[in-house]
Structure 1
Amino acid sequence: MSLLERLNQDMKQAMRNKDKQTLSVIRMVKASLQNESIKLGNDELSEEQELTVLTRELKQRKDSLHEFKEAGRDDLVENLNNEINVLQVYMPEQLSNEELETIVLQTIEEVNATSKQEMGKVMGALMPKVKGKADGTEVNKLVQKHLS
Structure 2
Amino acid sequence: MSELKAKIEQDLKQFQKERKALEVAVRRLLLSEIHNKEIDLKRPLTDEETIKVLAANAKKHEDSIAQFKAGQREDLVSQEEQELSEIRKYLPEAMSDQEIQKLVDDAVLKLGGEGTKNMGMVIKEVMAQAKGRASGATVSQMVKQKLAN
TM-score where L is the length of structure 2: 0.93
In structure 1, the partner of 2:25 is 24
Measure, in 2, the Cα distance between the counterparts of 1:73 and 1:147: 40
1:22-59 CA distance string (max 9 Å, x none): 111100000011110011111x2112211111111111
Structure 1 residue 16: Cα displacement:
2.3
Structure 1 residue 105: Cα displacement:
0.9
Measure, in 1, the Cα distance between the counterparts of 2:90 and 2:101: 24
Structure 1 residue 92: Cα displacement:
1.0
Structure 1 residue 91: Cα displacement:
0.5
Q: Which amino acid aligns with 1:36?
A: K
Is 1:50 matched with 2:47? no
In structure 1, the partner of 2:41 is 40
Secondary structure of residue in 2 paired with 1:120: helix
In structure 2, the partner of 1:79 is 79
Measure, in 2, the Cα distance between the counterparts of 1:71 and 1:105: 40
Measure, in 2, the Cα distance between the counterparts of 1:69 and 1:122: 34
* Superposition CA RMSD, Å: 1.3
- What aligned pairs does 1:107-122 form with structure 2 within 5 A after superposition? 107-122=107-122
In structure 2, the partner of 1:146 is 146
In structure 2, the partner of 1:67 is 67
Instruction: Structure 1 unaligned segments of length 5 or more: list them.
Output: none
Secondary structure of residue in 1 paired with 2:35: helix
Aligned residues with identical type, % of pairs: 28
TM-score where L is the length of structure 1: 0.93
Measure, in 2, the Cα distance between the counterparts of 1:107 and 1:71: 40
Measure, in 2, the Cα distance between the counterparts of 1:32 and 1:83: 15
Number of aligned pairs? 147
Structure 1 residue 19: Cα displacement:
1.4
Measure, in 1, the Cα distance between the counterparts of 2:83 and 2:90: 12
